[in-house]
Structure 1
Amino acid sequence: MSGPTTLQSVEKTIRVLEVFLQLDRATVTLTEVAEALGWSRPATHQYLTTLVHCGWLQQDERRQYRLSIRAATFGRFATAHAGVPEAVSRTMRALVARLEEPISFAVRNGGSALIVERVEPERSLSVRREAERQLPLGSTSGQVLLAFDPHASDAERAPHAEAIAEIREHGYSVHRAVWMGDAIEVVAVPVMQGEECLGALSVIAPEGRMEITAAIDTLVSARNALESELAGPEG
């Protein structure tokens, strides 16, 4: 059975945009894009010119290309509204049932971490407050994202270098802080799909209520199972 019919022009356009992630620089040249894709300069120039015309790229006075404000706006929208994979949502529900504490999934959103899904335990006589969705990169989840996101820059990582080194060594982060007026403890782990960091899973609880070692073991095990599922049978 033949595969689905696809438009090569669309596939190639997406590949051009992905070069900006691959090179991880604010601006790139025609030659750099052509070499990254293995294309001729004329063919590459045609795609770049089209993306400039459509408002997704800009060309500066040095004839270098950068993503436009339109592309950045679309990226922020996608971050806020793209669906969380069902495997992640299912894992979060299982973690809430196991740990009986709120579980969050956060992604990079420019210079911050954005909570795109949060699952709360069902408790009687509980007081619920709207959780902050936007977190600084210095937060527990933010540092996990910086540690494992291949697109994070050295400048972004520099203020958190010591914490990031420890997170990379252990594969998780534990943090104690004051959040929304309460002393809390947070454990967070990355969720990887290949070389990409999809986001950070975290559990948060009032200080002293959560057994930290058990929470770490539970989140790490859940992460391993989730990444295996996301990788598929050939992963």
Structure 2
Amino acid sequence: MSLQSVSKTILVLETFLKFPDGRSSVSGLARQLGWSRAATHQYVSTLAEVGWLVQNEKRDYQLSPRAAVFGRFAIEYSGVPPEVTRAMESLVEQLNEPISYAVLNGNEAIIIERHEPKRPFAISRAAEPHLELKTSASGMVLLAFDAHVDASRREGMQDTLAEVRANGYAQSHSEWLGDVVDVVAVPIMSDGECLGALSVIAPAGRFDIPTAREALLTARAKVEAELGGAKAG
């Protein structure tokens, strides 16, 4: 038999994900939940007391750094969704290039899974898992599609990120680990949430970018359909 108090506590935390900036007043949260203000305040004040919620200068509540750390730890160590892993394996065979899956981790993107082709690949020799948000294709995807990124991290990039959202992907041509590389990345979305960024990387000029882009977009559509089906089931 489930504990209603635990279920409702989890529901309160999950509801914060539905607000564009991740913040809400008690009244706004109550409306979203369909609860009374008094009942909502009881859960919110308890979560704030134990450090999972904090209030800003406007007295609105938001998830605390403790919640953020827990969330990132869960993402990094609970494993990549099997639907994503299958897509990565298929993309490696199709493109014969390294395929990575990255998630947001503070002020950077971090690669939590990478699949390599069997042939030697020069820049995979000590692949750096940490990526700059504003300069990497995966980072730009996360900035563009993750609704919970602090707005200050998007400063000066509004036009670029709007284009990424409109296109559904990001590309970069830059130096990485001493090599000039081309990268294409797409988001993986589920119920409006950006779960991570799927990308392909290779030395500049080695792969056909439109072909790689189309492969990633097709993989994204397939993964998101599978994720939706799995949840519905």
TM-score w.r.t. the length of structure 1 is 0.86
2:172 matched to which residue of 1? 175
Q: Deviations over 1:42-95 (max 9, x none)?
A: 211221232233332345787653433322321231232121101100110111
Q: Deviations over 1:184-215 (max 9, x none)?
A: 00011111113111111100000111111111
Q: What does 1:78-117 align with in structure 2 at a 5 Å threshold? A: 78-117=74-113
The 1:72/1:196 distance shift into structure 2, 3 A limit, reads closer
Unaligned stretches of 5+ residues in structure 1: none
Q: CA RMSD in A?
A: 2.5
The 1:40/1:69 distance shift into structure 2, 3 A limit, reads same
The 1:96/1:157 distance shift into structure 2, 3 A limit, reads same
Query: Which of 99-108 and 53-62 deviates more?
Result: 53-62
Alpha-carbon distance between aligned partners in 2 of 1:221 and 1:125, rounded to the nearest angstrom: 24
**Is 1:160 equivalent to 2:124 in the alignment?**
no
Deviation at 1:128? Answer: 4.1
Query: Which of 148-157 and 76-85 deviates more?
Result: 148-157
Which has more radius of gyration?
1
Instruction: Judge conservation of contact 2:188–2:224 (CA < 8 Å) in 1.
Output: yes
Q: Deviations over 1:18-58 (max 9, x none)?
A: 23322344754332322222211221122123223333234
Alpha-carbon distance between aligned partners in 2 of 1:209 and 1:61, rounded to the nearest angstrom: 51
Q: What does 1:156-235 align with in structure 2 at a 5 Å threshold? A: 156-232=153-229
Deviation at 1:124? Answer: 5.0
Alpha-carbon distance between aligned partners in 2 of 1:108 and 1:227, rounded to the nearest angstrom: 19
Instruction: Judge conservation of contact 1:79–1:109 (CA < 8 Å) in 2.
Output: no
The 1:28/1:158 distance shift into structure 2, 3 A limit, reads same
Counterpart of 2:201, as a letter, is: I
Query: Which of 98-107 and 157-166 deviates more?
Result: 157-166
Instruction: Judge conservation of contact 2:21–2:147 (CA < 8 Å) in 1.
Output: no
Alpha-carbon distance between aligned partners in 2 of 1:142 and 1:61, rounded to the nearest angstrom: 29
Which of 58, 71, 77 is matched with 1:75 structurally? 71
**Is 1:136 equivalent to 2:129 in the alignment?**
no
Q: Deviations over 1:155-190 (max 9, x none)?
A: 333322222222222222221000011010001111
1:42 matched to which residue of 2? 38
1:33 matched to which residue of 2? 29
Q: Match of 1:132, SS?
A: coil
